[in-house]
Copies of this chain bind each other. A is one copy, B any other.
Amino acid sequence: MREENRRFALAERPQGLIDDNTYDLETDPVPEIGEGEALVRVRWISVDPTNRTWIGEEPTYLPPVQIGETMRALGLGEVVASNHERYPVGALVNGLTGWQDYTVASDSNPLMVVPDSAKAAPPASLLGILGMTGCTAYFGMLEIGEPKEGDTVVVSAAAGAVGSVAGQLAKLKGARVVGIAGGPEKCAWVIDELGFDAAVDYKADDWRQQLKDATPDGIDVDFENVGGEIMDAVFARLNIGARVALCGLISGYNAEDGRPAGPASFGNLLIKRVKLQGFIILDYYDRFGEAIRQLSEWMGEGKIKSEQTVVEGFENLPHALNMLFKGENKGKLVVKLD
């Protein structure tokens, strides 16, 4: 058992991508637990674009991480000592563990106990397709996007954790699915492995033309993860009655001036009578069970696939977060702690 608790504490708010000055690596004693508490050894950390929004100046849907505080993140851990009956020793737990080796679960800092039926799943899946990631794709695509047979659905960040699942769900509903991803390898992957109908390489000079060619009948659903000029181009091609599931705007999360330009094609939302709905997955917390059961079933039947990129080693957490914004992951990005 590791005798110290390493943790990354926020040292300064970054401008643009995080760098060596963003976090301090601190080493503290392992926490001692009191009555009603359980000690959790964190094993896996989920790396999500939204993490970057939590260290800006402005509150988002959660308060900003404060200077000196441990970086907030979802993770998966194991109960190693316990004074709380809900958290027996050996239980797997899932929740906001932060970037650290140990956390303390209690009624005031609750974690979700992974049910026995799910313990056989790979840990990366529990943080990915069978966790918040899968739930985000599920509710965003099926309840907001509402793809129908014959619809053209565009998914940005299509090779990412959420996008790769969201696109597969739209395929299950009979839609034509176009993924936007960075580079020929990812574009080939979403078509060949995930079954998308077409892909647009946003790193190619002719990406606008590729988008037109891939959506000859316009766009009925935009599952929006990226924002910026790609979203602008997608908005310009929306059909009458289209839906936009506004899930993320990662192109702006590292903006240095904090005021990314809005979409110049905004007016098309009016002309085409578009419904746009912003959503944060925590609002669906009460319904996670339903989503995870359905996703498990589809995975078991081979109807959807899950992919992950695993980075090894605690000290690589900050680097892993930047990987998301450089497009260096495929599917769910997780860090396995040593």
Partner-B contacts on A (CB < 8 A): 60-61, 227, 232, 240, 246-249, 252, 259-267, 269-280, 283
Contacts and interface: CB of A to CB of B under 8 A. Distances in A.
A250 to B, nearest CB: 11
Contacts of A278: 269-275
Copies in the complex: 2
B262 A265 contact: yes
A249 B270 contact: yes
Nearest to A272: B278
A248 B270 contact: yes
A89 to B, nearest CB: 38
B269 A61 contact: no
Given A260-B267, A262-B264, A274-B277, 12 more contacts: A60-B271, A61-B240, A252-B267, A260-B264, A260-B266, A261-B261, A262-B263, A271-B278, A273-B279, A274-B278, A275-B278, A276-B277
8 contacts: A61-B240, A61-B271, A248-B270, A249-B267, A259-B264, A266-B266, A270-B280, A275-B278
Contacts of A276: 269, 274-277
Contacts of A272: 61, 278
What are the 3 closest A-B residue pairs judged by CB atoms, nearest first? A262-B262, A262-B263, A270-B278
Contacts of A227: 266-267
A12 to B, nearest CB: 23
Nearest to A270: B278
A269 B279 CA distance: 9
A267 B61 CA distance: 12
A97 to B, nearest CB: 23
Nearest to A144: B275
A277 B275 contact: yes
Contacts of A260: 264, 266-267
A259 B266 CA distance: 10
A132 B227 CA distance: 35
Contacts of A263: 262, 266
Q: Pick the most buried of A232, A265, A276, A280: most chain B CB atoms within 10 A of its CB.
A: A276
B273 A275 contact: no
